[in-house]
Amino acid sequence: MLDLDRGVMRLRYICHAEAPIPRWVYDRIREGGDITFAMLGLKDGIPAVMLVAERRVEPYKPETLIVVDANSWRHGVAIAYVNANHRIGFYTKSRPNLRLIDMLYRRAVSLWKLYSRLKRMGLHETPEGRRVYRELKRTISRIYRILRDHSQREAHDVALRAVKVKAKVVIDNALEESWRDLLEEGLSKREAKIHMADVRRFIKILETQLKWHGVPYEFKRLPSRVCPNCEIEMEQLPGRRMKCHICGLEEDRDKIPVLWALKLIS
């Protein structure tokens, strides 16, 4: 039973215990949702409760468009708002704190090299070896925690903006192309994995948030190397700039998919 006044969940018939209600439950109720399903189980040997919220919404007729081009965090997830006049009114690239991510990654690499050296010497089970291993695990965990929090917060912001302006959301998730770009830039697979981490989670959370708020959306492949005017292969310039030798269009590579979306809707 959920005691919303006291903020606790009462677990009856199994164990006479109470647990705090997660804060997101109150957020979903304020948005017009309701808790319709609960399951009690074990996670890593610890009792855990799973709650499911549902909400009935009426789909609206979209008046504007939001384009989301999912890239690696290194290059940023491009988000563009297209107004009713088919003009780009808002454009940004969502990135976590890359300076902090790179600093933590270098720290993790240094700790891994130190732990590997201790392991070759047979000292990894010593207090010093265990300390280095714990520090390594904490550093890696912090990196993924930062990326996870950013992806969740950004997906929520996009969904709320779509509701506010009554927009349809078009998502381009060419993640394989983004992965190849990182490797072509000389990044190691381990470093590229960091910059791609939780991008899929961002897309999944965004899709869930759009369904919750009743926002119409679709997945659509939007080219980033082909000119939206001439439909020919563009030349890539330094700084991820693209240029068409036929019409002279020169634009940021991550903005080309937005121009394709403009062409398709018009």
Residue-wise pLDDT for 109-147, tens only, equals 999 999 999 999 888 889 999 999 999 999 999 999 999
DSSP reduced 3-state for 262 = helix
Give every CB contact of residue 209 below 8 A, 6+ residues apart in sequence: 155, 156, 158, 159, 215
pLDDT for 178 beyond 90: no
- Please tell me the predicted confidence (pLDDT) of residue 266: 64
pLDDT number for residue 27: 85
**Lowest mean pLDDT segment, chosen from 4-18, 20-34, 70-84, 187-201:** 4-18
Q: pLDDT band for 66, please (50, 70, 90 cuts).
A: very high
Q: Which of 109, 159, 117 is nearest to 139 (CA)?
A: 109
265 vs 55: which has the higher pLDDT: 55
Burial class (CB in 10 A: 0-12, 13-18, 19+), 132: buried
Looking at per-residue pLDDT, the higher value among 159 and 11 belongs to 159
CA–CA dist 217, 167 (Å, integer):
9
The answer for 13, left when phi > 0, alpha when psi is -120 to 50, beta otherwise, is: left
Average pLDDT, the chain: 87
Whole-number pLDDT of residue 187: 86
pLDDT higher than threshold 70 for residue 236: yes
Q: Which class in CATH covers the domain with range 64-98+156-265?
A: alpha beta
Write the single-letter amino acid at 111: L
Give the residue range(s) of CATH 3.30.420 domains in the chain: 64-98+156-265
Query: Cα(195)–Cα(179) distance, rounded to whole angstroms?
Result: 9
pLDDT at 150 over 90: yes
Q: What is the largest CA-CA distance in the chain?
A: 74
**Residue 68 pLDDT:** 93
Q: What is the dihedral of CA 69, 71, 74, 77, to 10 degrees?
A: 30
- Model confidence over 201-235: pLDDT tens digits? 899 999 999 998 889 999 988 888 899 888 888 98
9-58 confidence digits (pLDDT tens): 887 766 667 788 888 888 888 888 888 888 888 778 777 788 888 888 88
